[in-house]
Structure 1
Amino acid sequence: MSTRTTTTRTGVGTGMEPTVDITDLYAAHRLQLVRLAVLLVDDFASAEDVVQDAFAALARRPDAVQDPSKALAYLRVSVVNTARSALRRRRTARAYSPPDDVAPPGPEDAAVLAEEHREVIAALHTLAPRQREVLVLRYWSNLSEAEIARTLGISQGTVKSTASRALVALEKSMTKAASAATSGKEER
């Protein structure tokens, strides 16, 4: 399979340079490229789209169109890469499962949430003031570590270590409160 070239004058004094006629290239190699794409995407309509995209990309690349030997190689690589992209999109679409419809929260959900909030706030008050400040600024005010550091006048490293220690202390406090509540229910 050879690529037909046409010769055009690109400018006065520059001589003759070969260029590829995309229409001729399309007529000569479209079926071969569609067969390649069908083997990759296993769907004729998608394969045709892949080849169309490859030719459209070639038309936007004047450097590939200038050299006839590069044009067909560019098309093959473009078909393979576009087929890979199509397969990735297809795989992602198949893997997607829409979220389940969630019923609106009822009154009991609000009561449980309110109780959980009270427990977190109570545990938060058991922390040292700096730890409490860092957690509140980070998780309630959604500030970045840099913003927290500027606000409190401390380094980012101190923000990170304080947050880490505060989370451990908060977990211990909540676990202790939960076990106390559980043992209180068992005694009744």
Structure 2
Amino acid sequence: MTEDTAVRVPVDLRGLDREQAVAVLFEAHHLSLVRLAVLLGADDAEDVVAEAFYQLYRRWRRLRSPEAAAAYLRSVVVNLTRMRIRHLQVVRKHAARTDEVPAHVASGEERAVLRDDQKALVDAVSALPARQREALVLRFWLDLRESEIADAMGISAGSVKVHVSRGMAALSRTLEERR
């Protein structure tokens, strides 16, 4: 198992109060959640993850169980990233109308994750529709099962299969064209 799949490593939270449990979860999952947000297209991955932990802290008593915290964090990161991308699309659409298109500036997280040998793949993944990109990242980066992906994305397991299949087909076509 690599550190990239650390989100799936169970953390023993028995006997810990909310503050201690969130601190343990932060230590165990922060880096992989930041990477998840970057791969999903967040340009402010650290902020997305910080917001996810804040929401976990606020809603701690409403969790099914402490063991559900890691899945909850993944779901919040996916949803926050999706919302921020939508917001940026609206902002850019309005900026394009006034001919003031903001230039994309790569964050430190993006530069750390994107190595030269991975750039072609990451570009191809970035070009996918959002749902396909999310499904592929959750499946192959975090090595989640279809049911876990369905929970994180708020869709059915069958839809996960469709998004993964279509995403893989599109990636294959794109990467073959580059060769």
TM range (shorter): 0.3 to 0.5
The higher radius of gyration belongs to: 1
Whose strand proportion is higher, 1 or 2?
A: 1
State the TM-score, normalizing by the size of structure 1.
0.42
Greater relative CO (CA pairs within 8 A, separation 6+)? 2
